[in-house]
Amino acid sequence: MKKTLLATAALGLALSAPADAQTTLKFVPQADLRILDTAWTTAAITRNHGYLIYEPLFSYDSKNEPKPQAVESWTASPDGLTWTFTMRPGMIFSDGTPITARDAAASLERWSKRKASGTTMRARMAAITTKDDRVFEITFKERFGLVLETLSDAIQPTFVLRAKDAEPDPFTQIQFKEVIGSGPFEFVTAEWVPGVKAVYKKSATYKPRTEAPDGFWGGKTAKLDRVEWIYLPDPNTQVQALIRGEVDVIEIPPVELLPLLKRSPNIKVTVLDTMGSQSFFRFNANHAPLDKVEARQAIAMVIDQAQFLTAVIGNPEYQKTCLAIMACGSPNETLAGAASFAKADVAKAKELLKKSGYANEPLVLLDPTDQHILHNMAVVMAQLLREAGFNVDLQANDWSAVVTRTARGDKPGPGSPGWHMHPTWAPGRVVASPLTATQLRTQCGLTTFSPTPCDQELEKRRDRFFAAATPADRKAAMDALQERFYEVMPYVISGQFLAPKAWRDNVTGVVNASEFVFWNVEKK
């Protein structure tokens, strides 16, 4: 009851602004926007914010082919070690200053030190240099065959910021005094109320590409005057607001209320991402008990994905079991090494836990209460872990707080922001490749995002996958990579699911991307 009242109050505040002649889309995002630095986090809410206000260097179209976005053209030397990129002419930041190759190079430098695909490319890179106002160059120490695929990363996009915004330490979060973008909308800082709403307005300076929008690529024409993100953590409040026409779109409507939405004549319920998302639990492996592989394997042994998904999602239409670390339905799907973890075995879990030397210390499991899928995951996992003998400390947070806490590796304990586990998910197209699967990184001394286990052998097998010259070699490398994954268990997979979007039927022009994007969208 308290959450519902708070959500209703938030809705009233968000909708209290006086009406005007502008076309405004009211959108209920999956979480509260707290972090504006798109390179500093992997949180989808921050990435979606970035897509509104920034232009990436490259993007994927609906066929998952890499295409230039802020870039006009490029060339590669015959030996593949020098790549030259020319920026589109006439691009302007929202403050009226021109977008130059220096801005692109500085943004790429920062991005390549933070993102999974970027760090993979950077390990083979010699330098990023600016040749003139429109041209920058990437040189490599060794040939890297996935340059365009890396620069087109749709989930960790190569957004173009002003050079002066991108040049500071990439491992320190940018605290923006003003947000200057390069994309189709502008962030209205003065109207941003964390915990309530974020506001965007059509950019007066953005110059879109001339091609029709296709996936995340093409002409990004802003046809809306304003976009308002209305944060409503209570699922029932979200749904009732959509039915009554108080909001226009829900990014991730609660699965249990989809039948109600489908019965409403003015609501469309649509799955944009047909591969779906893989759900998993990330580990802080810096501290006991999860510094021991046996403890991590014990956690994997408590999960029966079919039963877990039934409890978390509860609709066979939107769920399926998946033990492949590269997502089921992707070209790299394999079952290598997974057989031992196909079914839950609590007795085996207890045996592994004892072998790890577990001393009954509290296991801090973060519970994102404002995301219904993640909340359900945390509650179900807490019960399974207790049955296996873990002393579980389930700590309620909103998702923004979880993202902030998990970016650090503090030791858990009384009064500490430290943690051991948290639920999350990633789109299947991200989990489809070792290039983009951030959670698969096990590089020793890695300072990017969650403190994952250190395992150089798994990293070597990732490199073997990138070096594979034939489909057969790639298949063998993928099998070996997944076998090592199940030996060291850097995280645990809990299944795969579809997350439909819901919007009112007066919202048109929704692009065929796997996420709800705001360009080309109109409200009748």
HEC string of 157-182 equals CCECCCHHHHCCCCCCCCCCCCCCCC
User: What average pLDDT score do residues 195-221 get?
Assistant: 97
pLDDT at 14: 59
Is the pLDDT at 443 greater than 90? The verdict is no
Q: Bridge-partner residues for 187, per DSSP?
A: 200
pLDDT confidence bin for 19, thresholds 50/70/90: very low
CA dist 6 → 27, 231, 347 (Å): 18, 11, 43
Q: Are 291 and 228 in contact (CB under 8 A)?
A: no
pLDDT at 89: 97
Phi and psi of 390, rounded to 5°? Answer: -80, 145
The SS3 call for residue 270 is strand
pLDDT confidence bin for 43, thresholds 50/70/90: confident
pLDDT confidence bin for 6, thresholds 50/70/90: very low
Q: Are 111 and 159 in contact (CB under 8 A)?
A: yes
- What is the layout of strands, in order, in the sheet containing 125-130? 71-76, 82-87, 135-140, 125-130
Tokens for 418, please give them.
């430290």
Tokens for 431, please give them.
């989990």
Q: Comparing 409 with 272, which gets the higher pLDDT?
A: 272
Average pLDDT, the chain: 92
Q: What is the pTM of this model?
A: 0.84
What is the percent of the chain where pLDDT is above 90? Answer: 78
pLDDT at 407: 79
Residue 408 DSSP symbol: S
Tokens for 154, please give them.
């749709």
The SS3 call for residue 260 is helix
Specify the range with the lowest mean pLDDT, choosing from 255-259, 332-336, 393-397.
Answer: 255-259
Q: In 3-state terms, the chain is what percent helix, strand and coil (to 5)? A: 30, 20, 50
Q: Bridge-partner residues for 140, per DSSP?
A: 125
Is the pLDDT at 13 greater than 60? The verdict is no
pLDDT confidence bin for 215, thresholds 50/70/90: very high
What is the percent of the chain where pLDDT is above 70? Answer: 95
Q: Are 31 and 49 in contact (CB under 8 A)?
A: no
Is the pLDDT at 10 greater than 70? The verdict is no
Of the candidates 128, 119, 125, 123, the one whose C-alpha atom is nearest the C-alpha of residue 81 is 125
User: What average pLDDT score do residues 313-323 get?
Assistant: 93
The number of residues in the chain equals 524
Distance CA 488, CA 492 (A): 11
pLDDT confidence bin for 429, thresholds 50/70/90: confident
Q: Pairing relation of β-strands 277-283 and 421-427?
A: antiparallel
Phi and psi of 359, rounded to 5°? Answer: -115, 25
For each of the domains in the chain, give its residue range(s) and CATH number, in order of start: 1-270+501-524 (3.40.190.10), 277-497 (3.10.105.10)
Looking at this protein, which amino acid is placed at residue 217? W
pLDDT at 447: 56
- What is the layout of strands, in order, in the sheet containing 226-230? 185-187, 197-202, 226-230, 24-28, 249-250, 501-504, 267-270
Close Cβ partners of 59 (under 8 Å, ≥ 6 residues apart): 66, 67, 69, 152, 154, 157, 215, 216, 217, 218
Q: Bridge-partner residues for 60, per DSSP?
A: 66
Is the pLDDT at 12 greater than 70? The verdict is no
* Residue 409 host element (H or E): none
Helix 346-355 to helix 293-301 angle, to the nearest 10 degrees? 170
Distance CA 438, CA 450 (A): 9
pLDDT at 5: 45
Q: What digits encode the pLDDT tens for the residues 96-141?
A: 999 999 999 999 999 999 888 898 899 999 999 999 999 999 999 9
Q: Are 37 and 174 in contact (CB under 8 A)?
A: yes
Long-range contacts formed by 163-168: CB under 8 A, 24+ apart? 163/100, 163/102, 163/103, 163/105, 163/106, 163/107, 166/39, 166/103, 166/106, 166/107, 166/109, 166/110, 167/106, 167/109, 167/110
Respond yes or no on whether the N-terminal peptide bond of residue 289 is cis (omega within 30° of 0).
Answer: yes
Q: Residue 469's CB: how many other CB atoms inside 10 A?
A: 8
pLDDT at 437: 86
Is the pLDDT at 73 greater than 90? The verdict is yes
Q: Are 321 and 309 in contact (CB under 8 A)?
A: yes
User: What average pLDDT score do residues 281-303 get?
Assistant: 96
Tokens for 523, please give them.
């409200």
Per-residue buried b or exposed e for 216-230, using 16+ beta carbons within 10 Å of the residue's own CB: bbbebbbbbbbbbbb
pLDDT at 18: 45
